[in-house]
Chain A
Amino acid sequence: MAWLDAWPVNGAGWVLPELERCFLRHARGLDLVRRLLEAAVAGRLGRGIIACDSWAWAFLQRVWAIPQPEVYTLQAFDANRLAVHLLNPASAGAGHGLWVRNARTGEDVLPLGDVEGGVPASDEMRRLAAHCRDNPGIAWRYWRSHLRPEPDPSAADIDAENGQPADAWPADTDTMWWSSGRDPVMPADTGDDMAFVLHGLLLHNGLPEELLARLMPLSRDQLGAVLQRLARLGLVECDVRPWQVAPLGYAAARDFLRGRGYLVDAF
């Protein structure tokens, strides 16, 4: 609360990039965000921008009725925009052109194209965009994890049958092969414990284990076991940040929670 009371009101604009860090789903963890939103809407904090994770936003709408709908979100990354995003050397991590083909069929996934002029979307790209719900961050992780340097033997055979030499593409172009691999799946015996942890992590956009233990109806030992099991399944990770739902497991976790009737985000 002291943080909010010491809010500098000097007329300068401000940005609060992670509203989800301002609350905990706990009986004593909601007052701060209520006060913050109330003060921001009333104009007592001056002019500013608040950014919020979509899951936290879905929850906060139940916590405090947001009176004005001045809420904006980034445009979804559909297949075309996603192709441009992934082809961009900066995002692709390469210094020159990239040609990505399906590792099994040899078909173009990301054809050689001009980023400025737009890139035609392949069926693979449409499937990727749909699977990642047009979320560029998840799509990027998904994309990188499924790239490989060598094709399947079947794809090489296709090139040979078509009489296409292996060096048919420009010299300054790298060819990568893309294959949709096995994604994490929710186990059939998933119970309440795992659902609670996944939902808690999504609502808070990741939490350290100590805080998560205070929010879950689980003992610390139980929580640790659940987290380790979810990590082995590839559904959560704790590499750099606190525990969070792994990007590759996001689709499975979201579908599972939606199927169980949990609150999910609107995206």
Chain B
Amino acid sequence: MNDTDTFVQIFRALTGEALLDIGLIAGTALLLIVGFGRLLPWLADKFHGKPRLYLLASVPLLRMLIIALALLVIIPRVIEPTPQNMLAVLGAAGLAFGFALKEYVSSLIAGVVALHEFPYRPGDWIEVGGAYGEVKHIGMRTVEIVTQDDTVVFIPHLKIWNEQIANANDGGSHLQCAADFYLQPDHDAAAVQHLLHDVALSSPYLQLDMPVSVSVGTALGDALPHPGLPHRSSSAVPVRHGSHRSRQGRAVGPGHRCRRRARGIGRRLSAHHGRAAVLVQARVPERDAECLDATIALTSRFAPHSARAYRVSALYARLNRGLRTN
């Protein structure tokens, strides 16, 4: 009985006035969150580049601050704010969270860390756990990305504790795109290299201020299975939008594996060229190989409002068209 009395004494009597205050505070906080959630993205659409990204990134930060302030104002209206009471309530709450909502709280805390460390921001193209897409919204517990096939994926923030997060543009306005090409073995490797260089150079998506790098290998790499093998099918290299067919009739298009590989090569080139804007890698087979496999990757600009999938497929169409005509 004494324990019950003590527990009850922790809380204040919730009068109608107190409830009204709490309602008003919560309502104001909600209005501010919704208002900033609409105003800042609207404002961000008026800008381009970093100002847009910073404005978008400030939305979850402001939301967190508003919620924290609202809780700070509401708690003294519910609990008698003595040190003992606060300790008891916070301890009980922590225990409950620890057992019942461990994952949820972990995501919340990771969300706060994400706001500080910026592993991703709205507008970034990230890959987490095999899901690759553009960050559309950073919530309290999850980050929402939209993949190239227009699927929304909700990724809990807690992934940042123990999973690798690949960010393709890291707040910038450009990133690398990659596409596979399968060519007949009797193609002249030097001519293909020259042509791919010009194809990249003539793409309007290209960031011309960045250097163009072209490299030619003399053997097929392990990361690039032989296109003639049965497992090299159209499904192995997913065609998301606007599939195109090469001379051999093989459906090809931008895919995750190709993209990751291109990104890795880009990092290697970065050591020599600062930032590898365009990477063209043509792999020339051995004499007994049946085909020549080429990969082209180039840094392209992207606009915040259009679907990147279309751009990638449009770029790919240009690349493929350029090869066909030669």
Residues of A bordering B, CB below 8 Å: 25-31, 59, 62-63, 188-189, 191-192, 196, 199-200, 215-217, 259-263
Contact = CB atoms under 8 A, between A and B. Distances in A.
A188 B301 CA distance: 18
B325 A28 contact: yes
Nearest to A256: B48
Given A217-B315, A261-B174, A30 B202 contact: yes
B130 interface: no
A261 B318 contact: no
A25 B208 CA distance: 12
18 contacts: A25-B202, A25-B204, A27-B198, A27-B199, A27-B325, A28-B325, A30-B198, A30-B201, A31-B198, A188-B45, A189-B305, A192-B303, A192-B306, A215-B202, A217-B314, A217-B315, A260-B48, A261-B207
B244 interface: no
Contacts of A62: 201, 208, 212
B10 to A, nearest CB: 54
A216 B321 CA distance: 13
A261 B49 CA distance: 9
A26 B202 contact: yes
Nearest to B198: A27
Given A192-B311, A217-B315, A29 B204 contact: no
B195 A27 contact: yes
B46 A188 contact: yes
B15 interface: no
A261 B204 contact: no
B3 interface: no
A260 B48 CA distance: 7
A261 B173 contact: yes
B101 to A, nearest CB: 43
A262 B204 CA distance: 9
Given A30-B202, A217-B314, 20 more contacts: A25-B202, A27-B322, A27-B326, A28-B198, A28-B325, A28-B326, A29-B202, A62-B208, A62-B212, A188-B46, A189-B305, A191-B303, A191-B306, A192-B303, A199-B204, A215-B204, A217-B205, A217-B315, A259-B48, A260-B48
A18 B61 CA distance: 54
Given A27-B195, A28-B326, A263 B305 contact: no
Nearest to A188: B46
Main secondary structure of the interface of B (DSSP, over half): loop
A59 B203 CA distance: 12
Interface of B: 45-46, 48-49, 173-174, 195, 198-199, 201-205, 207-209, 212, 301, 303, 305-306, 311, 314-315, 317-318, 322, 325-326
A151 to B, nearest CB: 37
A263 B306 contact: no
Contacts of A261: 49, 173-174, 207, 209, 301
A260 B52 CA distance: 12
Q: Counting chain B CB atoms within 10 Å of each CB, which of A29, A199, A215, A217 scores highest? A: A217
A200 B204 contact: yes
B318 A217 contact: yes
A30 B322 CA distance: 13
Q: 6 closest pairs, A vs B, by CB?
A: A27-B322, A263-B208, A217-B314, A196-B204, A27-B199, A27-B198
Contacts of B195: 27
Contacts of A188: 45-46
A265 to B, nearest CB: 12
A137 B326 CA distance: 41
B31 to A, nearest CB: 27
Contacts of A192: 301, 303, 306, 311
Contact of A27 (B202, B204, B306, B317): B202
B136 to A, nearest CB: 18
A189 to B, nearest CB: 8
B49 A259 contact: yes
A25 B205 CA distance: 12
A188 B315 CA distance: 25
B3 to A, nearest CB: 64
